[in-house]
Amino acid sequence: MNKRADIVAGAAGAFEIDGFRGVGVDKVLAPSGASTRTLYKHFGSKDALVLAVLEERHRRFRERLEVATGSADAVAALFDTLRHWLEEHGARGCMLLRARAEYSEANEEIVALVRRQKDEFRRMIAARVEATLGRSDHRLATQIWILFEGATAAASVSDLSVVDEAKAAAASLLHAAQGSAS
């Protein structure tokens, strides 16, 4: 790994546990052993590091989802991927949405990045719904997106079984949509 990647990986862990704005630069850099000078050399600011962490987190999750794209049930695979991700990383809610909440009034670039990433994810879900149904269904795609986001949030205050319940609800919605098209 290079130093930039080390800093991003270490900072992701610190941000995941301690949040974004309230955690000091020294604590963010401690896992990578980088100095403040190195942070500014590679990123220019702590906010730029936050952007890099969010971009990396989104990229890694998207890659996991793409691996599951070829499964027989592409919508169910979304929830299976989420469950595996939460088992590996912990259920603390969506890092992207937590960053958006912390920076809502402080950094429009971070807010805009999260909005773009969530829009991209909604389009990915819509494509899976369309592939499953053989037709576009924006309303259904939005409902499944809400189930996914809700399961992510609920798992942080419950247990991972809520992901399975959201998966079952999505399957029911898809089944109903398939029946109404007949």
**Contact indicator for 110, 99 with CB cutoff of 8 Å:** yes
What pLDDT is attached to residue 181? 63
Residue matched to tokens 């991927």:
81
pLDDT in tens, 45-69: 999 999 999 999 999 999 998 886 6
3-state helix, strand, coil in the chain (%, to 5): 80, 0, 20
* Residue range 144-167: mean pLDDT, rounded: 96
Non-local (6+) Cβ contacts of 49 within 8 A are: 7, 8, 11, 28, 39, 43
C-alpha triplet 95, 126, 182: angle, nearest 5°:
140
On the question of pLDDT at 123 being above 90, the answer is yes
Is 70 exceeded by the pLDDT of residue 105? yes
Structure tokens at 68: 């599951």
Per-residue pLDDT at 36: 93
Residue 159 phi, psi dihedral angles, 5° rounding:
-140, 175
* pLDDT score recorded for residue 70: 63
Q: DSSP for 86-139?
A: HHHH--S--HHHHHHHHHTTT-HHHHHHHHHHHHHHHHHHHHHHHHHHTS--HH
Asked whether the predicted pLDDT for residue 16 surpasses 60, the reply is yes
Q: What is the mean pLDDT of residues 145-163?
A: 96
User: Is the confidence at residue 162, as pLDDT, over 60?
Assistant: yes
N- to C-terminal Cα distance for the chain? 53
Is residue 144 within 8 Å of residue 129, measured between CB atoms? yes
User: According to the model, what pLDDT value does residue 133 have?
Assistant: 93
Q: Is the pLDDT of residue 182 over 80?
A: no
Q: Which domains does the chain have, with CATH numbers?
A: 46-180 (1.10.357.10)
Average predicted confidence (pLDDT) for the chain: 92
